[in-house]
Amino acid sequence: MKKQELKNGIQDLEITEIKKSIKTLNDHSGTLKTDMAIVKNDVAWLKRFFWVSVTAAMSAAVASILNLIK
């Protein structure tokens, strides 16, 4: 009987530790989701910069072609 009680006590401790770990993981995953959303929003400036660069390059190419024609 004492052996069974000891085994049950150890299992209870293990379950308690697992519950603490799950709570910690849930807390960190919420923070991670928030951080990922911020990073996703910060990439928008890169897209705008790309389009501005492409537009400037295309404009320069068209201008140089027009200069060659004249």
Q: What is the pLDDT of residues 32-47, one digit of tens each?
A: 777 676 666 667 778 8
pTM summary value: 0.41
Backbone torsion region of residue 63, taken as left when φ is above 0, otherwise alpha when ψ lies between -120 and 50, otherwise beta: alpha
| pLDDT range class, residue 12, cuts 50, 70, 90 | confident
Q: What is the mean pLDDT of the chain?
A: 82
Average pLDDT over residues 5-9: 74
Q: What are the distances in angstroms from CA 22 to CA 16, 39, 50, 68?
A: 10, 25, 42, 69
Q: Which pLDDT value is given to residue 70?
A: 76
Q: Per this entry, what is the length of the chain? A: 70
Report the pLDDT value the prediction gives residue 28, as an integer from 0 to 100: 77
Token pair, residue 66, equals 């027009």
